């Protein structure tokens, strides 16, 4: 749980910085309506983030993503409960990450909407289980700007990252 709190704190700080650059478009859909939200969405199914072209040194590792756009924060994991986060495995240079709306620190629902997110950070870990008591440290963080979903999904290449920070 401490990792989750730290992770969201970093993303929130980055979002404040980025927000000043993108206030006019943050959280807007292509039709001009507000983006985000796991309930009341447009019913497109369960949304995923796919990252491709991941360097081979991260093969077999595990990935997580956080996305910030307007008032909506998403996290990406295979499954989330209040006690445990299960991360998807990187295979063949890619990972498909299911997305979850953060309702509060212990409540998550699958994201089922389109939206534009100002900032996204993919974290890569050695282990796919991030339980509440884990002190797992990320191996690398890849930061993406302007993550826009179409038909409930988005694909980004590792090469699209604004910056990559190895820990």
* pLDDT tens digits along 127-146: 998 765 567 788 999 999 99
Instruction: Kindly list the distances between the CA atom of residue 39 and the CA atoms of 62, 69, 89, 112, 120, in Å, as whole numbers in the listed order.
Output: 28, 16, 27, 8, 21
Give yes or no for residue 161 having a pLDDT over 90.
yes
| Range 87-106 average pLDDT | 90
Q: In whole angstroms, give the CA distance from residue 120 to residue 118.
A: 7
Give yes or no for residue 149 having a pLDDT over 50.
yes
Q: What tokens were used for 70? A: 């307007």
| Range 26-51 average pLDDT | 48
Q: What tokens were used for 159? A: 């090469």
Give yes or no for residue 35 having a pLDDT over 60.
no
Assessment of whether the complete model's pTM goes beyond 0.85: no
pLDDT for position 47:
87
| β strands within 14-94, DSSP E | 48-52, 62-69, 72-76, 79-80, 84-86
């Amino acid at each position: 749980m401490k990792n989750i709190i730290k992770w969201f704190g970093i993303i929130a700080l980055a979002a404040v910085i980025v927000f000043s650059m993108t206030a006019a478009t943050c959280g807007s859909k292509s039709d001009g309506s507000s983006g985000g939200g796991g309930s009341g969405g447009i019913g497109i199914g369960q949304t995923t983030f796919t990252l491709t072209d991941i360097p081979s040194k991260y093969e077999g590792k595990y990935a997580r993503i956080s996305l910030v756009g307007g008032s909506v924060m998403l996290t990406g994991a295979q499954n989330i409960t209040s006690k445990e986060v299960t991360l998807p495995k990187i295979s063949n240079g890619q990972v498909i990450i299911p997305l979850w709306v953060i309702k509060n620190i212990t409540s998550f629902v699958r994201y089922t909407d389109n939206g534009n997110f100002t900032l996204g950070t993919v974290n890569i870990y050695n282990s796919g289980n991030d339980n509440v008591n884990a002190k797992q440290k990320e191996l690398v963080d890849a930061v993406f700007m302007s993550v826009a979903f179409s038909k409930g999904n988005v694909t980004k290449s590792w090469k699209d990252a604004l910056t990559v920070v190895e820990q």
